[in-house]
Amino acid sequence: MAARLAGPVATPREKSLRSYALFAARDPRQTLGLDPVGAWGFGELLTLMADRCGVSPDPAHTSGADVIDPDCTLAALDAFAERLARAAHDRVPVLLGTGHPDRLLGFYASLAAALSAAGCVVLTPGYGRCVDVPTPFGVRRHVLRYAGGVAVLRPADAGGAGGPGVHTHSPLPVRVALGAAAEQGGVLPGLVVGDHGFICGAGQLGFEAIGLGDSDDPAVFVAEAEGRVAVAVPVDDSVRADEYRPLTRYVLSRAWLTE
C-alpha cells in the first residue's frame, strides 16, 4: 500500500471504466487476444472486477483514484507462488514475457533466474523475429527480443539497442514466440508467465498462464474467470520498477525459490 501497488492506486477510475466499456464492445485494444465465451457486458465486468480486484462496484462512482484490495492481491500472489513452486518441482519449460518492460522486467527476470536455477528450461523462441503491431498511428514493426530470459518487444529500427523494450498490450509477441517454439517439434512451455497480451494470448491458445493485471485490465480477469488464465494477480502495473522488489521477494519466498 505504501508503494501504491494496492490500496488507492494511480489508475484513474475514469480509465478503468472506459476499459470495461471497450472490452464490453470487444475492442481488440482491451481483449488482449482473448475471445471470451461469456457476454460480459459493462455491468458484469464491473461486478467481476469488484470481486477479483476490489474496485468499487458502484457504477455511479465515476471519478477519482481506483482501488485494489490488498487482500485480493495477497491471496492471488499466494496462488501465483504455488503455481511457480509446482512448475519448479516438475521442472516444466517456462516462457516469460512482459508488455511493461520499463516497470516489470526486473520482476519477471528474477522469476526466470530462480526457475532456471531450480531446473526449469526458460524458453526464448523466436528471438529476433519481426512482430508487426497495429497502433493508433499505423502498423509499427518491432522485433522480439529476450532480456534476462523475458520476452519483450523492441523497435525494429533500434538495432541491438532500444532500452528495456516497448509498452504493448498486444498478443502478437506471444503468438510469434509460441509459433516459433512449435516449429519442427520444438519445446513448448508448460507455463507462461507475464501480463497483458502475453498471458491472455497464451491462455487463449490453451497454454497454462499466470500473471499480473491492473484494475483497468479486465481481459486478464475475464480470462481467469473463464479458465483461460490460471492465476491473475491484481496489482498496479505502473509504479517505479524498484517498488516491485518486495513483490519479487514475497513470491520467491512463498514458492521456496532462491533468487
The 10s digit of each residue's pLDDT in 58-77 is 999 999 989 999 999 999 99
CA–CA distance from 10 to each of 32, 64, 108 (Å)?
Answer: 22, 9, 22
Predicted local distance difference test score (pLDDT) of residue 162 = 58
Helix (H, G, I), strand (E, B) or coil at 27: coil
- 15: region left, alpha or beta (phi > 0 left; psi from -120 to 50 alpha): alpha
Predicted local distance difference test score (pLDDT) of residue 243 = 96
Alpha-carbon distance of 38 to 55, in angstroms, equals 21
pLDDT tens, 178-235? 999 999 788 999 999 999 999 999 999 999 999 999 999 999 999 999 999 999 999 9
Q: What is the mean pLDDT of residues 32-36?
A: 97
Alpha-carbon distance of 44 to 57, in angstroms, equals 10
Whether 259 is in a domain gets the answer no
Domain that holds residue 91: 7-254
Q: What is the mean pLDDT of residues 229-244?
A: 96
Whether 1 is in a domain gets the answer no
Whether 125 is in a domain gets the answer yes
Task: Tally the domains of the chain.
Answer: 1
Whether 2 is in a domain gets the answer no
Chain-wide mean pLDDT for the chain?
95
pLDDT tens, 121-156? 999 999 999 999 987 778 899 999 999 999 999 998
Whether 186 is in a domain gets the answer yes
Q: What are the phi and psi torsion angles at 20 (to 5°)? A: -65, -40
Residue 84: Cβ within 10 Å count: 26
